Amino acid sequence: MAGYKAPLRDMSFVLYDLLQIDQYSNLKLFSEAPRDVVDAVLEGGSKFAEEVLAPLNAVGDRQGCVRNSDASVKTPDGFPEAYKQMSQDGWMSMSADPQYGGQGMPKVVAMAFAEMCSSANMAFAMYPGLTRGAYEAIAQGASELKSIYLPKLASGEWSGTMNLTEPQCGTDLGLIRTKAVPQDDGTYKISGQKIWISGGEQDLADNIIQLVLARIEGAPEGIKGISLFIVPKFLVKDDGSLGERNGYECGGLEEKMGIHGNATCVMHYEGATGYLVGEPHKGMRTMFVMMNEARLGVGMQGLAQASIAYQGAADFARERLQGRSITGAKEPDKPADPIIVHPDVRRMLMDTKVFVEGARAFAYWMAVQADLAEVAPDETTRQQAEDRMGLMTPVIKAYFTSHGVQAVSDALQLYGGAGFTREQGVEQTLRDARISMIYEGTNGIQALDLVGRKLAANGGRAVFQFFSDVDDFVSSHENDDAMALYVEGMKGALSHLKDATMWLMKNGMSNFDNAGAASHDYLELFGLTAMGLVWGRMAAVAKEKSGGGDAFYKHKLATAEYFFRRVLPDAASYVAKVKTGAEPVMALPAEAF
């Protein structure tokens, strides 16, 4: 099984050549993270991911988590020590607010580190990932609770979770039954059953902070009666030390296809003490803040799994000797040529490569927008950044995970029979990655979010801004003949996207089923166009720098060309599918299936 080697050169290309994050050094957030500091952080982070997390990945899959008879949960061997080291070495607090003990690094840097952790060990990385999510939700939604919980979550001393799903409700949270009964002291008693709670119980952290959606007695029906609560495993005394065990326990662990190292818990709450976060009945608002952040994180998992699968496949393709090149032996002194000489092997590698590198550039671009949305001095920049991020969150979540899984599957395919065996590790990567298309809102839900909410928000302001981002790219390079492939490609993709958008505006409002039927293909088209824009920008940078003799830029340019010639042509068929409307999709009665 191949190890993991963090793609630091490519990350650095995205951060400094493409996004040029040093241009923001007028902002405190960025000025306190100059390039040498960022380089050192990513270098150190890569060692942690490669040396501590990666070796535990197969162990986690094989051992899985075990629920003991006392309802405690044992994570795989090595996980508790790795978690402790991650916390103590400060890796968990990277982007947290310095006032709560965080290191205040830009989100884009934290995302690069998170990508490494997820590539090295997705099941493990979910524990700190969800802890960061809980930190954000409490930072956004709570007030007096912040000083108690944020420093402990920032450091990772305590871990965090999200408790949304119940047996009768996943996507449709309006059906939540878990109830919260107000107490005289201002706390609530929480009772009900939650399922599929990642990290709901484990042996990594001293305390577990459950963020629980529940319905306060007498609350309105449906989604407008849902409140958010902090329910710690151990109650916190006034001096911040841990008190008695709260009234809940893990009722069982789910057996699942992958991410065995992450404990997926059934949670039984029986009058557990909970603390309201924000206002009553407004829990979904805070939860959505957390979910949007989490959705970008899940998109990044798709990229991260594709990245590790790509590395292994590339090594295998260079090493495995099998058959001869159809244009004549390339290594005649060996019994056979390495399989990388075969065009169809190249095709799978190139498809995977353009996805991984394009997705990385796209994700980091959005992470910079997340930073700018918070710290840019002018309102226009903040709003534009917010708009981009909001629009692209469902696109990144769904496009990255479905194409990420496809990329892992392509990588597995390249191994032939060896890919199907446990030994090479790539089959685990495929099993682990598959959940990313489902959790934090299935990809179908993301597509509905895009067409039903994001597209129309503020009169379509965000989508028109994206069109103008593409127009800017086109006009910047229109007079450069060497950029014709990219300019023409983006003109074509944009015209398809506008065509599909117009169709949706016209037909999606008159019959909502048209919007629903089109949503998947529209999101695909959107993701493809955004990937095109990112690859076009990378081509421009690489072209400019490729004169210097560094082969990296020449190869980047050739990779961009592959994307434009062999991936972008899919745009036309997405438009055709969007425009069929709901009729063929909905034609059959339910009993005909």
**Binding flag, residue 333, its own copies (CB under 8 A):** no
Residues in contact with 580: Cβ distance below 8 Å, sequence separation at least 6, in sequence order? 517
Residues 444-463 that bind its own copies (CB under 8 A): 444, 447-448, 452
Residues 519-558 that bind its own copies (CB under 8 A): 519-520, 551, 555, 558
Could you say which of 29, 317, 373, 392 contacts its own copies (CB under 8 A)?
317
Q: Which residues pair with 188 in a beta bridge?
A: 182, 274
Q: Which structure tokens are listed for 520?
A: 């998947």
Q: Which structure tokens are listed for 280?
A: 């009553």
**Binding flag, residue 593, its own copies (CB under 8 A):** yes
> Residue 253: which of 196, 169, 178, 170 has the closest Cα?
196
Q: How far is the CB of 571 from its own copies (least distance, A)?
A: 8
Q: Match 């809102």 to its residue by tokens.
A: 441
Could you say which of 349, 367, 487, 539 contacts its own copies (CB under 8 A)?
349
Could you say which of 2, 59, 175, 505 contacts its own copies (CB under 8 A)?
175
Nearer to its own copies, 106 or 312 (CB): 312
**Binding flag, residue 123, its own copies (CB under 8 A):** no
8 A C-beta contact, residue 500 and residue 517: no
**Binding flag, residue 323, its own copies (CB under 8 A):** yes
8 A C-beta contact, residue 126 and residue 262: yes
Select from 358-366, 374-382, 462-470, 509-517 the region that touches its own copies (CB under 8 A). 509-517
Q: How far is the CB of 174 from its own copies (least distance, A)?
A: 8
Select from 283-291, 297-305, 373-381, 429-437 the region that touches its own copies (CB under 8 A). 429-437
Nearer to its own copies, 109 or 263 (CB): 263
Residues 351-370 that bind its own copies (CB under 8 A): 353
Could you say which of 43, 344, 478, 488 contacts its own copies (CB under 8 A)?
344
**Binding flag, residue 427, its own copies (CB under 8 A):** yes
Helix (H, G, I), strand (E, B) or coil at 332: coil
Q: How far is the CB of 143 from its own copies (least distance, A)?
A: 33
User: How would DSSP label each residue in 525-568?
Assistant: HHHHHHHHHHHHHHHHHHHHHGGGS-HHHHHHHHHHHHIIIIIG
Select from 73-81, 286-294, 437-445, 471-479 the region that touches its own copies (CB under 8 A). 437-445
The radius of gyration computed from the CA coordinates of the chain, to the nearest angstrom, equals 24
**Rounded Cα distance, 249 and 265, in Å:** 10
**Binding flag, residue 495, its own copies (CB under 8 A):** no
Q: How far is the CB of 192 from its own copies (least distance, A)?
A: 16
Q: Which structure tokens are listed for 590?
A: 């339910």
Could you say which of 40, 471, 512, 544 contacts its own copies (CB under 8 A)?
512
Could you say which of 43, 77, 206, 423 contacts its own copies (CB under 8 A)?
423
Could you say which of 6, 408, 437, 493 contacts its own copies (CB under 8 A)?
437
> Residue 86: which of 199, 205, 5, 239 has the closest Cα?
205
Select from 49-57, 129-137, 340-348, 359-367 the region that touches its own copies (CB under 8 A). 340-348
8 A C-beta contact, residue 441 and residue 295: yes
> Residue 404: which of 353, 346, 444, 455 has the closest Cα?
353
For strands 66-67 and 158-163, give the pairing. unpaired
Q: Which structure tokens are listed for 204?
A: 């990594």
Q: How far is the CB of 421 from its own copies (least distance, A)?
A: 5
Q: Identify the active-site residue in 115, 440, 478, 524.
A: 440
Residues 210-269 that bind its own copies (CB under 8 A): 254-258
Amino acid occupying residue 362: F
Q: Which structure tokens are listed for 234?
A: 């151990």
> Residue 391: which of 445, 462, 460 has the closest Cα?
462
440 labelled catalytic = yes
Select from 51-59, 98-106, 293-301, 334-342 the region that touches its own copies (CB under 8 A). 334-342
For strands 242-245 and 234-236, give the pairing. antiparallel
**Binding flag, residue 500, its own copies (CB under 8 A):** no
List the alpha helices (DSSP H) in 56-170.
57-63, 79-88, 107-120, 122-141, 146-155
**Binding flag, residue 59, its own copies (CB under 8 A):** no
Residue 118 CA, distance from chain mean position: 10
**Binding flag, residue 488, its own copies (CB under 8 A):** no
8 A C-beta contact, residue 209 and residue 159: yes
Select from 131-139, 297-305, 313-321, 357-365 the region that touches its own copies (CB under 8 A). 313-321
**Binding flag, residue 6, its own copies (CB under 8 A):** no
List the alpha helices (DSSP H) in 281-334.
283-319
**Binding flag, residue 435, its own copies (CB under 8 A):** yes
Q: Match 């069109």 to its residue by tokens.
A: 467
Nearer to its own copies, 153 or 430 (CB): 430
**Binding flag, residue 184, its own copies (CB under 8 A):** no
Q: Match 């690069």 to its residue by tokens.
A: 112
Could you say which of 225, 419, 489, 536 contacts its own copies (CB under 8 A)?
419
Active-site residue list = 440
